[in-house]
Structure 1
Amino acid sequence: MSAETNHNIKLTSTELSALWTTYMNDTMAICVLSHFLKHIEDAEIKPVIEYALQLSNEHIQTVTEIFKNEDFPIPDGFGNQDVNLDAPRLFADTFYLHYLHQLGKIGLSAYGVALPACARTDIRKFYNECVESSAELYEKTATVLLNKGLYARSPYIPNPDKVNYVEKQSFLTGWFGNRRPLNAVEISHLYINIQTNTVGKALFIGFSQVAQSKQVRKQMERGSQIAGKHIEVFSSLLSENNLPSPETWDHLVQTSNAQTFSDKLIMVHTSLMCTAEIGNYGAAIGGSMRRDLSTQYTRLLGEIGLFAEDTVNIMIDNAWLEQVPLTADRHEIAEK
């Protein structure tokens, strides 16, 4: 028995936050991946979906056990009521693969943040395993994408003939004068954000077809338009430098309009995508030295922020937003 067990170390707010978020995201992933698995036909992609689904189920089992030991209420999350497994397929097999590839990236980022923020031994062990399994999921998706010739590689650029240092302030110029070519870091951020918006746009199109509420359907159509606009902006910046952009995946959305996922799941999934994209844009702002790029990201970040806020408001109006654990309201306690 560890010293921590003997001393009954409670979960910190950071550990609670990470575990609660993991439970919510993985119960949602189980619904989505279960529907994917029901319709998958490609023999190479099917094992990858099965592996991702297995990981989500294992995560739920571990987190549930921790919450029970801590006498912490198990979140509602998502369940059978949030997915119709008998509904026709909503996406083509190759989209499942692209989706899982992005899922692996998001998992690496989220678990990589959670791991160093946790102190308790069992929680650190859990998130260390989550990082390793997310890396394995990424490897599996990357391998299949490469085998099928579907991996969207970022653009190639010439190797410099020597080490260079920035000598002029004009290196930062973006709006006026001659703009310098994009550097490798800036290209990387543009390419990554095109890819994430491409996945988002296809998801929004699919969700708009199967949403039951007119309000949710309109929000999904709005999300698709925003993602399409951002793809155009980033692609034009690459095009100015004679660099290619990855293809879009709108054509991988099928024509089904049968209820597939609950409106609650659709909106929470949308909110999660907004959170990931806001983080990506923030990283891009920090990594872009040309002024016009940081200004563009800031402007587009504002659009995502407004869309995310409206998404949350719809969730609140429909009682779909499960509340993250709060600290004690000392003023309310004192009043009572």
Structure 2
Amino acid sequence: MRIFILSFVMVLSACASETRDPADGCRTDADCNPVGLEGRFCRVNGECGCLDDSGCGDREYCNTLGSCQPMSGCRSNEDCINGEICDVVLSECFEASGDACRQDSHCRTGQICGPEQFCVQACRGDGDCGLYSLCTEEGFCDGDLQCREDQMSRCGFGDRCLGGACVPNAGPNCRPCDPQLGDGDCTRGGDVAICLLYDLDDPDHRAPGGGQARGYCGEFCREDTDCPNGMGCGEVGLVDSSDECQTAADCPAGKPCMRGEGEVRGYCGCATDADCSAFSSASRCSQLVGRCGGPGLGGFRVPFLGPCQSDQDCEPVRCNEGGQCVVARNCGIDEGVMCSSF
């Protein structure tokens, strides 16, 4: 019995120390990765396959079937000899002499590969130019061109892009104001803006003690490029805050009950454009002040909105999907941005 036990142990020891040549097949991944090799695995049929190029030899690569095959041509400069670079489109190595090129990536910043396969001073897009430089319509990098009106993000928060230069915000945008006192803070010095509410759900924008949210001024606009970086052009919506509700059943037929998250009571919004008739003065130009808006029907307060010379300069009042009567468009802060960043 003892002899049998010892023999059994010896057999186990011999099996544990056995190594296999990958060419002879495999039973585990370890059989496919002898010393100095990695990136291989054992298939269910007992053959070794590759996970990536590290599991293959020199001048080989791992194909999509998980097998190593000889490499023809090149896939990067590392596959070429010294003094040559790789044309990854044709998979060919060519001599890197002077400004010779096959594609734009072979050229320095501010250059592209020209039709004669030599690098030339030109650009196809902003990515071909260096930092603080943009590609002009003529196809050359301009270091004096700081920004574009449709790429305001190149400017700092609160800056506008004017004539290719970032200009600090000099208007009323983001000026502090008290929504309960109207728009007086936003119209000082002839400025044309209205006082907007911060997001009531954002604790950073609540007044001390948890009271009324602080407000900020927003200029009127027609598109995003009219606003500084950090702000976008959005709709100005008005509602009748005296028409309170808890559910849609509390509102006239068809009107939704607009409630903020966590709020018990809300207000009845609009369902159609006809529901916005109380704010119709927003679509008329007040010749007295040269701005759209003014007192609405039934005593509703409609703020003076954007500048105008005739009614055609004022936006028609309409009901949006959020149940608000849209009377204008203004610059409002982007999500995640605070006026303190300006």
Shorter-chain TM-score bucket reads under 0.3
- TM-score w.r.t. the length of structure 1 is 0.24
Per the normalisation by structure 2, the TM-score is 0.23
Normalized per residue, the structure richer in helix is 1
- Using CA pairs under 8 Å that are at least 6 residues apart, name the structure with larger relative contact order, 1 or 2: 1
- Select the structure that is richer in strand: 2
Structure of greater Rg: 2
